[in-house]
């Protein structure tokens, strides 16, 4: 890590995540089963939270003031549903008008995380029912997303799969 990064107590590393991230209980290694889009999506969101958790642990151990934070937008109307197929896309679009927040509101948890003095490994999302919409606030993680052994394993798997040694060893 550069001396400039170490010197800045206000720097943060964020992982933007999607709805219900901490509740996914799937394996971090995508190669273990047949590809299913919804499972892969859940795995990627869990991986974001686990990686953020392990990054913060390593930053703390290294004596760094940098903080790793995670945020998710809730259910935001972003057009992501266009990948669902024509019928489901139409249903999702209609339901989205009633139950989802705007793209701009979906950005607020990330801005909250980036501009507030939060503890490392904090997780921010909408404060409304089911974390789908609402004002940004600190939200909880599911048990899998708090698993420090799984987080360390993901870090090591990431290093192996990318043939990269992250300098916070």
Cα gap 166→169, rounded to integer Å: 7
- Residue 126: which of 64, 47, 73, 63 has the closest Cα? 73
41 is catalytic: yes
Cα gap 45→122, rounded to integer Å: 15
For 161, counting Cβ atoms within 10 Å of its Cβ (0-12 exposed, 13-18 middle, 19+ buried), the class is: exposed
Which residue reads 């990627």 in tokens?
Answer: 44
Exactly one of 6, 11, 19, 41 is catalytic; which is it?
Answer: 41
Active-site amino acid positions? 41
């Amino acid at each position: 890590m550069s001396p400039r990064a170490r010197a800045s107590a206000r720097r943060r590393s964020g992982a933007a995540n999607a709805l219900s991230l901490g509740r996914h209980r799937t394996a971090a290694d995508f190669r273990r089963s047949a590809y299913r889009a919804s499972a892969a999506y859940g795995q990627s969101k869990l991986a974001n939270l686990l990686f953020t958790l392990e990054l913060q642990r390593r930053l703390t151990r290294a004596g760094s003031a940098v903080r790793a934070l995670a945020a998710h937008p809730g259910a935001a109307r972003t057009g992501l549903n266009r990948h669902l197929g024509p019928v489901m896309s139409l249903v999702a679009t209609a339901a989205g008008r009633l139950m989802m927040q705007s793209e701009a509101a979906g950005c607020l948890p990330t801005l909250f995380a980036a501009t507030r003095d939060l503890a490392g490994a904090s997780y921010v999302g909408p404060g409304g029912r089911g974390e789908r919409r609402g004002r940004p606030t600190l939200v909880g993680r599911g048990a899998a997303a708090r698993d420090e052994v799984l987080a360390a394993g993901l870090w090591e798997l990431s290093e192996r799969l990318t043939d990269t040694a992250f300098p916070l060893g």
